[in-house]
Amino acid sequence: MSSTPSPQRPSTDLAAFAAALGIGSLLILFGHITTQDLASYAVAIAALYGIWNNRERRM
């Protein structure tokens, strides 16, 4: 009998997302990075998170 998988740490993921969104907004607001740079960083970080998340599931 299989059950639907539930998220392992939804509150931690939500807190990390909110922190990243806030930091990205502040960096753009104060002119430290452009929106294009932030998009590039977001893609790279999302890829690393995806790899990390899959690694935890395989263990």
Q: Minimal CA–CA distance to 53: which of 3, 5, 8?
A: 8
pTM of the model: 0.58
Please give the single-letter amino acid code of residue 28: I
C-alpha to C-alpha distances, 28 to 6, 25, 38, 42, 45, nearest whole angstrom: 35, 5, 8, 13, 17
Q: Where are the domains of the chain?
A: 33-59
User: In the numeric block, which tokens belong to residue 7?
Assistant: 């998220």
Q: How far apart are the first and last CA of the chain?
A: 22
pLDDT digits (tens), the chain, 59 positions: 444 555 565 677 788 888 888 888 898 899 999 989 989 988 988 888 888 877 766 66
